[in-house]
Amino acid sequence: MVTPAVPVRVGVLALQGDVREHVRALAAAGAHPLEVRHAAELSAVDGLVLPGGESTTIGRLLRVFDLLEPLRLAIAAGLPVFGSCAGMILLAREVLDAAPGQPLLAGLDVVVRRNAFGRQVDSFEADIDLIGVAGGPVRAVFIRAPWVEKVGDEVEVLGQVGDRIVAVRQGSLLATAFHPELTGDIRIHQLFVDIVVRNRGRRGQYR
């Protein structure tokens, strides 16, 4: 784990979903969390979390709050982003079984299947090993979860449930099909904070 002299400022997209849970986990991981609702607030953060929630609703609100295009530009300029569950869907370049008109940020070169593990009643937990996360398996909570059906050449697969890909990384972008913010285990948030710290000196046009 990289310990910054000055805590990195990590935003949490605060339009819908597990915002408070991510804020708590980021603070425990050594970051300074900020809630982000407007495009101007992107300039105040070194990284951003897209929380679990309802991807269609979050996508619609991105348009309502005029955040969709600024976020796309920020990601293209190198802003580190971590998406959990719905956040993974939003980060994908393509989504199967998506709602009509589903807006995507298209930062991750992956194809994701929405609600792949089933409906709310099919929610489950599993222990999975993740590349880059030390200390043994991570307890993963899956709620109407997606999975990754296809990855591009630059995408690293970090974790699977059986033969289903549930965690990936591409450069400074990280995504999980599950909800690490719900377990009290902050190791994935620590991994993302480390990514943000290592990226902080690379100032892109999202500043």
For 4-13, b where at least 16 C-beta lie within 10 A, e where not — what string?
A: beebbbbbbb
Tell me which residues are annotated as active site: 85, 179, 181
Say how far apart CA 133 and CA 138 lie, in whole Å. Answer: 8
**Residue of 185, 190, 181, 194 lying closest to 13 (CA atoms):** 181
